[in-house]
Amino acid sequence: MNKLIQIIILSLLQAVATSSTAHEAHVHGSATVLLAQDGNRLTLEFDSPLDNLLGFEHAPRTDKQKQAARALLDIMQKPDTLLKLNAEADCQLTTVKVVAPVLQAAAATASKDEHANLHAEYEYSCTKAAALKSLHLSLFDAFPAIHKVDAQMAGARGQVAATLTPKQRTLTW
């Protein structure tokens, strides 16, 4: 195939993938978790509409909203209570990145968009990476507005995907 055509097709595919991910990412009641294992390193990405986590998606206005936003950003820094990897793998959290522009930007830069997301990325280093086999979501307790989580794991043994719910909280691979 002509190289230029290849490039065009690739960028088209990428555009489609990007827009469909962005689209799927914002359904109230739903969230996504993506896990990727590379040797002893594990990356976990969590995406959710802010509505699921706070009940609103605008910059916080009242004191109560500001407090709730701070508490949310705080709990997202310590994911251990929300997302539990099986203990046998002995994974230590090494990096945390939480992005929620609506909550983190200065109040003046209010978003024109009616919807807003929170994106969090966690990196773990696992001493016994071969023993890594499950992720349990306790976040259903912390965020009752989340009814389902599309979870995916990609590792050396392939890929698994499942829709997790308050009744089925564990992804195993």
Q: Please name every residue paired with 79 in a beta bridge, in sequence order, or none if there are none.
A: none
Q: How far is the CB of 152 from Zn ion (least distance, A)?
A: 22
Determine the size of the site formed for Zn ion (CB under 5 A): 4
Q: Which residues pair with 95 in a beta bridge?
A: 123
Q: Is 136 in the site for Zn ion (CB under 5 A)?
A: no
In whole angstroms, the minimum distance from the beta carbon of 155 to Zn ion comes to 31
Of the two residues 89 and 116, which places its CB atom closer to Zn ion in the complex?
116
CB of 27 to Zn ion, least distance (A): 8
The nearer residue to Zn ion, 27 or 154, going by C-beta atoms, is 27
Give the nearest distance from C-beta 52 to Zn ion in angstroms. 9
Residue 49 found at the interface with Zn ion (CB under 5 A): yes
Beta bridge partners of 123: 43, 95
Among 122, 128, 142, CA closest to 40 = 128
The β-bridge relationship of strands 117-126 and 91-99 is antiparallel
115 binds Zn ion (CB under 5 A): yes
- The residue range among 10-18, 35-43, 53-61, 118-126 that interacts with Zn ion, by the rule CB under 5 A, is 53-61
The nearer residue to Zn ion, 66 or 115, going by C-beta atoms, is 115
Closest to Zn ion by CB, 47 vs 57, is: 57
Give residues in contact with Zn ion (CB under 5 A): 49, 51, 57, 115
